[in-house]
Amino acid sequence: MKIKQCNPSRRHGVIFPLMLLLSASVGLTSGCQLFNEQQTAPPHSPYPEDMALGEVFDIQVFRDVTELRFTNTSTHTFPDSTVWINKRYSLAIPGFAPGETVTLDLRNFVDEFGDVYRAGGFFAQRTPAPVVLVQLETGETNTDGEPVLFGLVVVENKFD
């Protein structure tokens, strides 16, 4: 009776890919992250619900994945301001003049609880949130002396 022996090199040819597959699946299920998306930051002030609403300027806002971009096509010069997204997230910006283009990283917008805006992008771990409403708090007042929130026009909301 002849006993057939396994070829050791053939055995390793099957075991190695199985070990590789096993180690990859353990890495995926153990919470290993290739990219660590920032989800919290120091909190900003709450949205000013009681602030009067001013005019909507003809300034078009474009969302291009993780950036918000707009050009001041009005004749108004804006002082240092706070940009509000969706009545929740804010970011302080320097003033800007007519004709000036402003580009903002959506990942810099934070709410009053320290939650960072879900901007999306290639490595994002969370579903991106749409930009629905963009307002500008400039510190300017209306004829009654009340501070005013100005509106901007959102025209494009590209997630990827």
In this predicted model, what pLDDT tens digit does every residue of 63-103 receive, in sequence order? 988 899 999 999 999 999 999 999 999 999 999 999 999 99
Residue 85 lies in a domain: yes
Residue 70 lies in a domain: yes
Bridge partners of residue 68, in order along the sequence: 63, 104
**4 vs 1, 11, 96, CA distance in Å?**
10, 14, 83
Long-range contacts of the stretch 120-123 (C-beta < 8 A, 24+): 120/65, 120/66, 120/159, 120/160, 121/65, 121/66, 121/160, 122/160, 123/34, 123/35, 123/37
pLDDT digits 0-9 by tens, 22-75: 555 544 444 444 444 556 678 889 999 999 999 999 999 999 888 999 999 999
Beta 52-64 vs 147-158: how paired, if at all? Answer: parallel
Give the pair of three-digit tokens for residue 29: 């299920």
Domain span at 94: 52-158
Beta 89-93 vs 52-64: how paired, if at all? Answer: unpaired
Residue 30 lies in a domain: no
* pLDDT value, residue 17: 60
* pTM of this structure: 0.72
The CATH number of residue 91's host domain is 2.60.40
Q: Is the pLDDT of residue 9 over 70?
A: no
Residue 38 lies in a domain: no
Domain count of the chain?
1
Residue 41 lies in a domain: no
